[in-house]
């Protein structure tokens, strides 16, 4: 997800997105261990999405 899209969300919505990304990351890790994960780049992409969303949450916290 692009940072511009994330910046349009509220802090509560961003918190929900972080939860979704973390759940997806958890499932991807299990798929990797089980040998079912075809696209390993998805792991890195999801980790970056979590970090991006958390950074924007911190930025919005500073603004308030």
Instruction: Supply the pLDDT for residue 64.
Output: 77
Instruction: Supply the pLDDT for residue 17.
Output: 96
For the cut 90, the answer to whether the pLDDT of residue 1 exceeds it is no
Domain 3-63 matching CATH 1.10.8.60: the answer reads no
Residue 43 vs residues 17, 40, 59: alpha-carbon distances, Å: 16, 6, 25
Q: How far apart are CA 8 and CA 3, in angstroms?
A: 9
pLDDT category of residue 63 using cuts at 50, 70 and 90: confident
Instruction: Supply the pLDDT for residue 24.
Output: 97
Model confidence pLDDT, tens digit, residues 13-62: 999 999 999 999 999 999 999 999 999 999 999 999 999 999 999 999 99
Hey, where are the domains in the chain?
3-63
């Amino acid at each position: 997800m692009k940072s511009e899209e994330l910046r349009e969300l509220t802090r509560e919505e961003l918190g929900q997105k972080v939860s979704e990304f973390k759940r997806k990351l958890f499932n991807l890790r299990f798929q990797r261990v089980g040998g079912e994960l075809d696209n390993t780049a998805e792991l890195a992409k999801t980790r970056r999405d979590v970090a991006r969303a958390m950074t924007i949450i911190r930025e919005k916290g500073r603004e308030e």
